[in-house]
Chains A and B, each alone.
Chain A
Amino acid sequence: MRSLIDIFELSTDEVDRLIAKAEDIMSHPTAYVDKCRGKKLATLFYEPSTRTRLSFEAAMYELGGNVLGFSEAQSSSAAKGESVSDTARTVSCYADIIAMRHPKEGAPLVASVNASVPVINAGDGGHNHPTQTLTDLLTIKREKGRLSDLTVGVCGDLKFGRTVHSLISALSRYEGIRFVLISPSELRIPGYVRDGVLENKKVPYEETTDLDGSIGKLDVLYMTRVQRERFFNEEDYLRLRDSYILTPAKMESAKEDMIVMHPLPRVNEISHEIDSDKRACYFRQVMYGKFIRMALILMLLEIE
């Protein structure tokens, strides 16, 4: 029995196989409608997350399975003080697989140690969110046709955005990847990614504060939200929030086949006028999230 807590528990080969499985599901959806018949997914969401929870639930329903669970800690036994490990043991008696989101870092790992069914980390605070990274990889593969030989720009909050750190680390395992790291100086990529991943693996990268001057060389532009809760004072937040807004004017300098990604929800970092641009793929990215989760559920339940 296997769980997925951190994306790096998967080898590149396993990631590629998951992507291939997701693509097969997209091509032959009817072949998968009964794959999880009689199986139950428990979605244990200790904090609200509409997109991720619905994506897991939709994935299980499309595989013919059922879903049970809760969407906030107040409606669970956690409100009575039950530990994560006790909840994991209990839910293992009802469900065949668990997807857990928790505000505390490490909670899904604690659950996986105590559960007798596979546990998928659906996000633990700002720590890990492996299915987002898998979603991002599938999106790039589908939209660009490859995961190698790409110039990938990541823009916005590169300091606190764990999504970005995981994506950079995961993409660094592929050949010919170059990064352009675009952020205000206050929100630069942390040392553990710059030194621990990029320098360590000799992945070419440049750091810049200039989105306008960099956009023309990108194959992929990954936008992120500058989150209010990361700042100690409102003034800094308001000053930086609007630093990197993607507008139609900026898109004029971008390649015709560049793709724009975003983990969503967005606030105002991508102008709504971009939504109708064929290069904007953040809503397709949401759809890919469901298919990669279907592939992951099948893998962890050991269903072909």
Chain B
Amino acid sequence: MNIDSIKNGIVIDHITAGRGMTLYNLLGLDSLDCSVAIIKNVASSKMGKKDIIKIDSEIDVDLDVLGYVDPGVTVNVIRNGALVEKKKIELPLILNGVIRCRNPRCITSTEPSIPQRFRLTDPNGPVYRCVWCEARAKAKNENE
């Protein structure tokens, strides 16, 4: 299977197999005019299988979303057909507007203008907690 290489754009690599579509949706890539390819289950020597997303335009990617959903992905920036930057994504310390607090007793449940913000409290879990009510965020796979 061949996907054209891109000249100017972004390649999100090392996505855990099966999470490509989740990232596509969370990053809002469906609203882009440019070509976007989601390649699933690509053979990988390190990961066995992985997903890749190729975006044929140099957009601002929300790194917090990437870090939360799939820490360990890499973001490659391509310009004039050459790799100019490679970012290794890690767990973000703060998540702004990525997930919503599900605690019905949280002040954000009645005041939607308050920003949805979570803090990483345990990188081993990983555990994120709402900065307002400290409720634990649901595990990532519960959001998928």
Interfacial residues, chain A to chain B (CB-CB below 8 A): 83-85, 102-107, 109-110, 124-127
Beta-carbon contacts under 8 Å, B106-144 to A: 106-111, 113-114, 130-135
Q: Which residues of B contact A85 (CB under 8 A)?
A: 111, 113-114
Number of inter-chain CB pairs below 8 Å: 46
Bound form: Cα–Cα A19–B135 in Å: 31
Bound form: Cα–Cα A299–B135 in Å: 30
| Contact pick for A105, options B106, B111, B113, CB 8 Å | B106
Which secondary structure dominates chain B's binding surface? Answer: loop
Bound form: Cα–Cα A107–B133 in Å: 8
B116 to chain A, nearest CB (A): 12
Q: Which residues of A contact B106 (CB under 8 A)?
A: 104-106
Bound form: Cα–Cα A125–B103 in Å: 12
- Find out whether the CB atom of A105 lies under 8 angstroms from the CB atom of B114: no
B95 to chain A, nearest CB (A): 16
Beta-carbon contacts under 8 Å, B51-91 to A: none
- Find out whether the CB atom of B110 lies under 8 angstroms from the CB atom of A104: yes
Asked if B105 is at the interface (CB within 8 A of a chain A CB), the reply is: yes
- Find out whether the CB atom of A104 lies under 8 angstroms from the CB atom of B134: no
26 sampled A-B residue pairs with Cβ under 8 A: A83-B111, A83-B113, A84-B107, A84-B111, A85-B111, A85-B113, A85-B114, A102-B107, A103-B105, A104-B105, A104-B107, A104-B109, A104-B110, A105-B105, A105-B106, A105-B107, A106-B106, A106-B108, A106-B132, A106-B134, A109-B131, A125-B105, A126-B105, A127-B105, A127-B133, A127-B134
Q: Which residues of B contact A126 (CB under 8 A)?
A: 105
Q: Which residues of B contact A109 (CB under 8 A)?
A: 131-132
Bound form: Cα–Cα A110–B106 in Å: 11
Residue of B nearest to A192 (CB): B136
Interface centre among A83, A106, A124, A127 (most CB of B within 10 A): A106
Q: Which residues of B contact A106 (CB under 8 A)?
A: 106-108, 130-134
B100 to chain A, nearest CB (A): 14
Residue of A nearest to B113 (CB): A83
Q: Which residues of A contact B110 (CB under 8 A)?
A: 104
Residue of B nearest to A106 (CB): B132
- Find out whether the CB atom of A110 lies under 8 angstroms from the CB atom of B105: no
Q: Which residues of B contact A110 (CB under 8 A)?
A: 107, 111, 114, 132
Bound form: Cα–Cα A126–B107 in Å: 12
A50 to chain B, nearest CB (A): 22
Q: Which residues of B contact A107 (CB under 8 A)?
A: 107
A77 to chain B, nearest CB (A): 14
Bound form: Cα–Cα A125–B135 in Å: 13
B126 to chain A, nearest CB (A): 16
Interface centre among A102, A105, A107, A127 (most CB of B within 10 A): A105
Residue of B nearest to A127 (CB): B133
List the 10 closest A-B pairs by CB distance, nearest first: A106-B132, A105-B133, A104-B107, A106-B133, A106-B107, A107-B107, A105-B105, A125-B105, A83-B111, A105-B106
